[in-house]
Amino acid sequence: MSIEVNNESGVPADEENLIRLGRFLLDGLFVHPEAELSIILVDTTAMEKLHIEWMDEPGPTDVLSFPMDELRPGTAGRLTPAGVLGDVVLCPEVAQAQAEKAGHSTQEELLLLTTHGVLHLLGYDHVEPDEEAEMFALQRSLLADYLGGKAPEETVS
């Protein structure tokens, strides 16, 4: 499994923890061990440009996901095919502000956002209420399992 973290944000982050989380998520969602995932941390200026270009929305956001091979979660008996899962782009500055409001650390927020982004790469969404309930329940469960207890309060929109 290839998980690459590229921190272009200028903000220190626990990149090894993001890689461990990525492996945990992909293993737990039965993604092929030869799949590739990229996690990129950017500053608010770069995130705002991406947010406008891809979502046609102003201002920086917390996380964006760019799927590549449109992989979906596998099962214990059938892994996803090998392929490029895609990119999760995080903005630590936005994450820090959200973490302060939620009362947890910036690192916990980055873990939450990474989990959210990976689920988007695997086809989960939260447009409809039933989709949101499914995605956020899975997000909470995966993150709680990774952290060995309770997941941080969700701040992802």
3-14 residue pLDDT tens: 999 999 999 999
Angle 63-67-70 (CA atoms, 0-180°, nearest 5)? Answer: 145
Distance of CA 125 to the CA centre of its chain: 12
In this predicted model, what pLDDT tens digit does every residue of 119-131 receive, in sequence order?
A: 999 999 999 999 9
In sequence order, the 6+-apart residues with CB closer than 8 A to the CB of 100 are none
Q: What is the pTM of this model?
A: 0.93
Q: What pLDDT is recorded for position 84?
A: 96
